[in-house]
Structure 1
Amino acid sequence: MNISGRLTQDATVSTTTTGKEVVNFSVAVNDGYKNKQGEWVDDTAFIDCAYWRSTKPVSWLKQGLYVELTGQISARAWQEDNGNLRAGMNFKTSVIKPAWGTASKIDSVQANNNQQNGNPVKEDEKDDLPF
């Protein structure tokens, strides 16, 4: 699944109780439509995202950056300290691409990750076009 939107704040790194680090961030996904009266209505969804592969992206995932994300939606449920049950959705991100702006910085991060994983970087994957 792919989504695109703007980061609502700078990304942060948190550590689980087992010591695994995760990059957390939220994106605002804008959509719109015309209602029956012909007026344009903006509809914005805020999506919490988690990136588990590396903490390196936290250095360039800054508020306002427009990103294209690939991943899958996961559901979570928990009980608050006061006993209230809560549920939420999270986008488990596997690929993060800026739609414009800091593409050269991200290309080098992706290239380093691919080389560390033994995956060669294909020439067409270095393209900074958003499509």
Structure 2
Amino acid sequence: MIKMQVIGRLGKDCLVNNVNGRSVINFTVAHSERFKDSQGNQQEKTVWVDCAYWTDRTAVAPYLVKGTQVFVEGQPEVRTFTKSDGTAGAALSMRVREVQLLGSKAEGGAPAQPQSSGYSPASSNTASSNASSVNDFSEPVDDLPF
């Protein structure tokens, strides 16, 4: 299995559809990176990822609006197609397994404070339980359960 993780902002509001009795939330995430080219000029590259989240848990849909920053994780897929001018094209898409809300844009375009309520179908404490600080280090326990 190939796993892909993206942090970015939604390009438009999500769409909730019903396909063969199952719900799917479709949205597009833009991930931008800034870098310097070989001449030292500042450049920006944006990658758009089309996301399909097949779930019965559509309660997150009202929060997936344009400008919202999200973390999405899932399986990448590349779709190939023929453009209207006859040339070949490709698009990056993802079959989403997990969505977490990170924040939204405040009015005026400035980022708002991160939202405290993230959404994750697996576990909402995944990131916090996996992260530990150096100060939390303790001696190994010899009483292993196996």
TM-score, normalized by the shorter chain, greater than 0.5: yes
Change (3 A) 1:35 1:78: closer
Equivalent residue runs for 1:1-131 within 5 Å: 1-16=4-19, 18-53=20-55, 54-76=57-79, 88-100=91-103, 101-104=114-117, 106-107=118-119, 110=120, 124-125=125-126
Change (3 A) 1:39 1:77: closer
Aligned to 1:56, the other structure's residue is in SS state helix
Residue by residue over 1:57-116, the C-alpha shift from the partner in whole angstroms, topping out at 9 and shown as x without a partner, is 211111111111111112345789xxx987533111111112243332x35xx4xx56xx
Larger Rg: 2
Change (3 A) 1:88 1:7: same
CA distance in 2, matches of 1:86, 1:37: 30
Report how many aligned residue pairs link the two structures: 112
Instruction: Note the residue ranges of structure 1 that are not aligned, 5 or more in a row.
Output: 115-120
Residue by residue over 1:19-52, the C-alpha shift from the partner in whole angstroms, topping out at 9 and shown as x without a partner, is 3220000011101221121011000111110111
Which amino acid is 1:48 matched to? D
Aligned to 2:13, the other structure's residue is in SS state coil
Which amino acid is 2:36 matched to? K
Percentage of matched positions with identical amino acids: 27
- RMSD between superposed Cα atoms in Å: 2.9
Which amino acid is 2:39 matched to? Q
Which amino acid is 1:93 matched to? V
Instruction: Note the residue ranges of structure 2 that are not aligned, 5 or more in a row.
Output: 104-113, 129-146
TM-score normalised over the length of structure 2: 0.63
